[in-house]
Amino acid sequence: MKQLILVFLGGGTGSILRYLTSKALNGSFQNFYLGTFLVNIIGCLLIGFILGLSAKNDLLTQNQALLLTTGFCGGFTTFSTFALEQQTFLKNGDFLNFTFYTVASILVGILAVMSGFWLSRAF
């Protein structure tokens, strides 16, 4: 039960921050969902960093890692919104932005996870 509460609290916090970020930044660039892109990339960086720290020196307990990764990062990032935005690009025939957003999200996301692991080495 304790683990469910930790995921719930982390997820709720992440979801609120995702909502505020997306509300503030989506629409600031025409044909690019900056808020969604940033929360997904920051979430990738954070999960790499958190898991890197956890694996390196047992800095976090299993429950703390669960709160921060499954809870917070899971609530903060959003694949479903990304997919919906992609569908909007396709519906509008905007294949250039569809391709750019897809490739950028995947490549930068993977690089962010790798960077998070790399950054965790400094701690």
Above pLDDT 70, what percent of the chain?
Answer: 100
pLDDT of residue 31: 83
Report residue 58's pLDDT band, with 50, 70 and 90 as the boundaries: confident
Q: Give the chain's domain count.
A: 1
And the tokens for 30? 């025409």
Maximum Cα interatomic distance, the chain, rounded to a whole number of Å: 49
Using the predicted structure, report yes or no on whether residue 84 has a pLDDT greater than 90. Answer: yes
Report residue 77's pLDDT band, with 50, 70 and 90 as the boundaries: very high
Classify residue 60 by its DSSP letter: S
- Residue 78 sits in which domain range? 2-120
Start-end of H helices in 1-94: 2-25, 34-57, 62-66, 74-76, 79-91
pLDDT of residue 59: 83
Q: Would the annotation count 77 as a binding residue?
A: yes
pLDDT of residue 56: 82
Q: What is the distance between the alpha carbons of residues 46 and 109, in angstroms, rounded to a whole number?
A: 11
